[in-house]
Structure formats: structure tokens, C-alpha cells
């Protein structure tokens, strides 16, 4: 839902309505905090829900332990993601990078101390994660409130509690778009949990998902770049520059994805034993590596197109595309290949990959055929609609909380 700020802040910043960015940031905090509170019961009832879905009781028990530890992380994400969108729209990326580097460094040290030295297991790993996730939040709060964004942050405003409906609508469509993509991977894990040899399959799958998420972090950087550049250029009225941004970012990300694809094809066996000493798990990893390589290649293209969609405000359209490609094509095909034909985890993943491929091709077609001059006109209409009634270039001191 925080990705709504990529559209809101990006296009508004491009239109030079700087004072609105801080207000959108605060409105997003209100909406995301309320949403996080609403979904809290899911974290407490993870175990019975998974057992009700027929998952292994041991796996479900560990899942609920991790879920409860994840609650502080959820609330850190409310601020972390919104700050990222807010700062990225102003091209203040180095600030995010500095705090992220500090977070990762401390995360590695704390994980080593708590998990390896103190033998705290999952509890130690989760404590390390929570501390690491709150460090960027505290740092970004200090930076923004301390005067790092003088043009866009004018203090806490009562107007943040007004006109929430517009932000809620865009946040919901953004949330639907992103969640439909992220939960696609969760369904892969869920379906794998029903297999006869679920433990080995899930071990291999967890290795692949970690690798995929590492690689997709690169693509998410390009997603952010595409979203910010498209939103800024559309807000500024530059149709050609918006289109050119999509082409450049897509070509760069695809090239990097192609190199990673070749590396994983060539070093599949060495890759497996980096993560495990179990021959059974290693063999499963080696068997599935070609599918991972294809997934990584698709992940280098698809996020960039999603970023362009976010920058242009097409979240609702992409959400419909995701439903059709992922859940009407990918998941049913995965079930057929995995269970009915008997390919098991390989079949499930093949179905999911096909759904991603269809989604990528559809987004490519939409992006290629779109009228960018028309998108500029739509962006200008959006910015005018988002502005506070009677707002000026500066905010009045009487509005401060």
C-alpha cells in the first residue's frame, strides 16, 4: 500500500507542488497504521489457520513463532517503506542507502552473536531482524524531521487527516497489485507443503526463494528508478522522457538478469552446497536450478514494468492483469503439473513461471502501446485533484499540530 506514494509524491514533485509531499507521507502513515492493526489477528492465529489448510503441524508451529516475532517488523515497514517512497521521489536515494548499509552491517553482526554464539536459534534471528529493521526508520525520521527535506516537509499537519479517501483508493489498488505478486510466491510454498516429501522440497524451495529475493532486490532498485522517473516526468509534462526512462531502465535490468541467468546455469552444483550439507536437499536444488534461472530472468523484466505502472498510476489495471495471469493461469497450471501429472514441486513451479511469463508479456504490450502524451494529461488532472482546496505553495503556521 505504501507504493501509492510513488505515484502521489512522484507526480506531485514533478509538478513542483513540493509542499504536498509531506502531507501525503502523513496520510499514508495513518492509512498503513490502521491497516496493520486490522491484520494483526492473522499473525496470532497463523498455526490454526495453517493446520486448517492441511499443513504439517510442526511446520505450522514454527510458522506461528516467526509470525509473532514479525509484528514489530510490520510496524517498522509502515514507516520504512513510506519514507523510502517519499525520499526516492525527490531522488534522495543515498540517504536510504546509508541507513540500509548500517542496518545490514548490524544485522550480520547481531545474527552471528545471537544465533551462532548465544545459540538462540529462531528467536535470536528474529531479534536481530527487528533491531535491523527499526534502525533505518529511526535514522530516516531524524533526517526528515531534522531538516533534510526543507521544501517538502513542513511539519505535522492537521490536513493529513482530511481527504483521505483519494489516498485510500490508490493505496488499496497499489496494495492489491503488489500483494497479488508477493502472495503468488507464498502460494508456491503453501502448495509445496502438501507434497509427500514436503520437508526436503521446502528446504530446497527456501534456498531458491532467498536467492530470488536477493536478485529481485536489484530489480526492485530498477522498479523504484522506473517509478520515480516516470512519475516525475509525467508530473512535469515530459511524455518522451517518461517513455525513454522505461526503455533505458528495462534494457539495463534485463541485461543484468541475463548475466545472472547464465551464472546460475553454469554453477548449479556449487550453488547448492553453499546453502546445505544435505545431499537430498542439494540434489533437489540442482534439479530445480534451471527453473530458478528462468525465474531470475523474468524477475529482471517484470518489476521494471510494474514500476512504470506505479509511476503512471496504473495500479488498478495491473491488479486485474495479476489476477488473470497468476491466479487463473499460473496457480491452476501449477496444481495440474504438480499433483495431477506428478511433477511435484517442479510442476508447481513450472505453472507459476508460466503465469509470470504471461503477466510480463501483457505488461510489455500495455507499456509499448500506451499513449504517453495522454498519460501526461491524466497526470496533470490527478495532481490538480490531489491538491488541497485553495492550497498555496507554502503551508500556514496555524495548520501545524
| Per-residue pLDDT at 391 exceeds 50 | no
> What's the domain range around 301?
164-388
Q: Are 280 and 244 in contact (CB under 8 A)?
A: no
300 occurs within a structural domain: yes
pLDDT tier for residue 226 given thresholds of 50, 70 and 90 = confident
C-alpha cell at 283: 540434489
pLDDT at site 63: 84
The C-alpha atoms of residue 51 and residue 54 are separated, in whole angstroms, by: 5
Which residues, 6 or more positions from 23, have their beta carbon under 8 angstroms from its beta carbon? Answer: 157, 159, 160, 388
Q: Which among 256, 246, 253, 258 has a CA at the least distance from the CA of 363?
A: 246
Determine the angle formed by the axes of helices 164-192 and 19-44, rounding to 10 degrees. 40
Domain presence at residue 14: no
260-312 pLDDT, tens digit per residue, is 888 877 876 677 777 777 778 778 777 878 888 888 888 888 888 888 888 88
3: Cα within 13 Å, side-chain hemisphere: 26
What is the chain's mean pLDDT, rounded? 84
Grid coordinates 506531485 are at which residue? Answer: 12
Domain annotation covers residue 196: yes
> How far are the Cα atoms of 256, 289, 295 from residue 261, in angstroms, in the given order?
9, 10, 9
What's residue 278's pLDDT? 78
Taking residues 122-142, what's their average pLDDT?
92
% of the chain residues with pLDDT over 70: 95
Q: Please, which pLDDT band fits residue 76 given cuts at 50, 70 and 90? A: very high
User: Residue 52: left if φ>0, alpha if ψ -120 to 50, beta else—which one?
Assistant: alpha
Quick one: pLDDT band at residue 112, thresholds 50, 70, 90? very high
How high is the pLDDT of residue 33? Answer: 95
Per-residue model confidence (pLDDT) at position 398: 35
**Quick one: angle between helices 315-322 and 344-369, nearest 10?**
150
User: What is the rounded CA–CA span in Å between residue 363 and residue 374?
Assistant: 18
CB–CB of 174/310 below 8 Å?
A: yes
Residue 121 inside a domain? The answer is no
pLDDT at 2 over 70: yes
**What pLDDT digit, counting tens, does each position of 363-381 carry?**
889 888 888 888 888 888 8
**Per the structure, how many domains does the chain have?**
1
CA-based end-to-end distance of the chain: 25
Q: Which residues contact 123 (CB under 8 A, 6 or more apart)?
A: 65, 69, 114
Q: What is the pLDDT of residues 249-263, one digit of tens each?
A: 888 888 888 888 888
Asked whether residue 394 carries a pLDDT value surpassing 50, the answer given is no
Task: Provide the pLDDT for residue 290.
Answer: 84
Residues 6+ apart with CB under 8 A from 141: 79, 83
Percent helix, strand and coil across the chain, each to the nearest 5:
85, 0, 15
Residue 388 has a pLDDT of 53
Q: Is residue 86 part of a domain?
A: no
Q: What is the pLDDT of residues 304-344, one digit of tens each?
A: 888 888 888 888 888 899 889 988 998 899 889 988 888 88
Average pLDDT over residues 346-369: 88
In a domain, 8, yes or no: no
| CB-based contacts of 277, cutoff 8 Å, min separation 6 | none
Which of 4-13, 101-110, 382-391 is predicted least confidently? 382-391
Structure-block grid coordinates of residue 189 = 510454498
pTM for the model stands at 0.76
Q: Does the residue 178 lie in any domain?
A: yes
Encode pLDDT of 149-172 as tens digits. Answer: 999 998 888 888 888 888 888 888
Residue 400, domain member (yes or no):
no
Using only C-alpha atoms, the chain has a radius of gyration, in whole angstroms, of: 22
What totals of helices (H) and strands (E) does the chain contain, helices first?
A: 16, 0
Say whether pLDDT at 129 is over 70: yes
Quote the CA–CA distance of 85 and 5 in Å, as a whole number: 6
CA separation for the pair 395, 110 (Å, rounded): 43
Amino acid at each position: 500500500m505504501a507504493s501509492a506514494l510513488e505515484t502521489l509524491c512522484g507526480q506531485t514533485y514533478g509538478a513542483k507542488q513540493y509542499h504536498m509531499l509531506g502531507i501525503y507521507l502523513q496520510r499514508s502513515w495513518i492509512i498503513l497504521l490502521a491497516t496493520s492493526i486490522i491484520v494483526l489477528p492473522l499473525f496470532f492465529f497463523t498455526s490454526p489457520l495453517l493446520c486448517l489448510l492441511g499443513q504439517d503441524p510442526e511446520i505450522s508451529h514454527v510458522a506461528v513463532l516467526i509470525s509473532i516475532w514479525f509484528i514489530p517488523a510490520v510496524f517498522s515497514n509502515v514507516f520504512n517503506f513510506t519514507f523510502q517512497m517519499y525520499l526516492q521521489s525527490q531522488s534522495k536515494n543515498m540517504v536510504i542507502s546509508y541507513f540500509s548499509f548500517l542496518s545490514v552491517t548490524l544485522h550480520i553482526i547481531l545474527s552471528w552473536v545471537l544465533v551462532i554464539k548465544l545459540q538462540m536459534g529462531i528467536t535470536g534471528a528474529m531479534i536481530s531482524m527487528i533491531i535491523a529493521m527499526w534502525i533505518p526508520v529511526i535514522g530516516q525520521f531524524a533526517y526528515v524531521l531534522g531538516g533534510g527535506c526543507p521544501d517538502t516537509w513542513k511539519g505535522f499537519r492537521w490536513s493529513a487527516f482530511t481527504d483521505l479517501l483519494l489516498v485510500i483508493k490508490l493505496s488499496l489498488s497499489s496494495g492489491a497489485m503488489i500483494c497479488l505478486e508477493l502472495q503468488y510466491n507464498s502460494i508456491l510454498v503453501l502448495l509445496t507443503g502438501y507434497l509427500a516429501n514436503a520437508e526436503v522440497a521446502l528446504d530446497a524451495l527456501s534456498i531458491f526463494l532467498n536467492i530470488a529475493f536477493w536478485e529481485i532486490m536489484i530489480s526492485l532498485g530498477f522498479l523504484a528508478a522506473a517509478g520515480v522517473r516516470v512519475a516525475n516526468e509525467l508530473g512535469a509534462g515530459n511524455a518522451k522522457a517518461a517513455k525513454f526512462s522505461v526503455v533505458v531502465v528495462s534494457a539495463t535490468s534485463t541485461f543484468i538478469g541475463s548475466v545472472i541467468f547464465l551464472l546460475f546455469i553454469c554453477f548449479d552444483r556449487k550453488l547448492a552446497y553453499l546453502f546445505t550439507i544435505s545431499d537430498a536437499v542439494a540434489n533437489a536444488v540442482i534439479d530445480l536450478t534451471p527453473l530458478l534461472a528462468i525465474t531470475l530472468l523474468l524477475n529482471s523484466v517484470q518489476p521494471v514494468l510494474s514500476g512504470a505502472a506505479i509511476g503512471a498510476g496504473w495500479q488498478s489495471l495491473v491488479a486485474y492483469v495479476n489476477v488473470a495471469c497468476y491466479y487463473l493461469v499460473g496457480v491452476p497450471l501449477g496444481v495440474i503439473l504438480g499433483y495431477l501429472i506428478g511433477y511435484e514441486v517442479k510442476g508447481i513451479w513450472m505453472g507459476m513461471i508460466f503465469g509470470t511469463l504471461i503477466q510480463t508479456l501483457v505488461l510489455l504490450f500495455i507499456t509499448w502501446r500506451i499513449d504517453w502524451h495522454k498519460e501526461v494529461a491524466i497526470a496533470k488532472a490527478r495532481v490538480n485533484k490531489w491538491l488541497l482546496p485553495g492550497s498555496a505553495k507554502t503551508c500556514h503556521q496555524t495548520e501545524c499540530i
